[in-house]
Amino acid sequence: MRMAKTVQRSLEAAQCEFDLVTHPHSASSLETARLAGVPAERMAKSVILDDRHGHYLMAVLPASRYLDLGKVRGGGEWQISRESTLAHLFNDCERGAVPALGESYGLNVVIDPLLTRQRDIYLEAGNHHNLVHMSMEQYLKMVPHAQVCEVTH
């Protein structure tokens, strides 16, 4: 699998220009950036949050940073979702390889401005061996309703 079907369909529908970057198997976004030889601040890390009532939110931030739950929509109501919960949300992706394309999977998205300031970014293709590389302009076409707000510390 070069990329998840949902990712591929979404890229085609938005007519986005992108490259696919292959890398050795990795277990985290920071390790992926290192193995792929890309700057960690340009590697988009997805963190899935839930409110314990069936609502989900995708926070997208640079792999070089940590999520600050207190900065996410007022904080307090969101928690980091369990890995086991994600399988049904991202059923065409390998476990732990969540693409930073939440809208394609029916999720609301918040993006940290540290990421939007990059000229181009890399994101999981839905597996542990490939990244989608695209300009920030192309990425923002993929998440047109995303809210840009600071969510890192």
Residue type, 60: V
For 9-23, the pLDDT digits (tens) are 999 999 999 999 999
What's residue 49's pLDDT?
Answer: 95
Angle of CA points 134, 143, 111, to nearest 5°: 85
To the question of pTM greater than 0.75 for the whole model, the response is yes
For 57-115, the pLDDT digits (tens) are 999 999 999 999 989 876 558 999 988 888 899 999 999 899 999 999 999 999 999 99
**Which CATH superfamily, name and number, covers 5-148?**
YbaK/aminoacyl-tRNA synthetase-associated domain (3.90.960.10)
Alpha carbon 126 to its chain's center: 10
Radius of gyration of the chain (CA): 14
CA dist., res. 105 & res. 36, Å (int): 25
What's residue 37's pLDDT?
Answer: 95
What's residue 75's pLDDT?
Answer: 56
- Per-domain residue ranges of the chain: 5-148
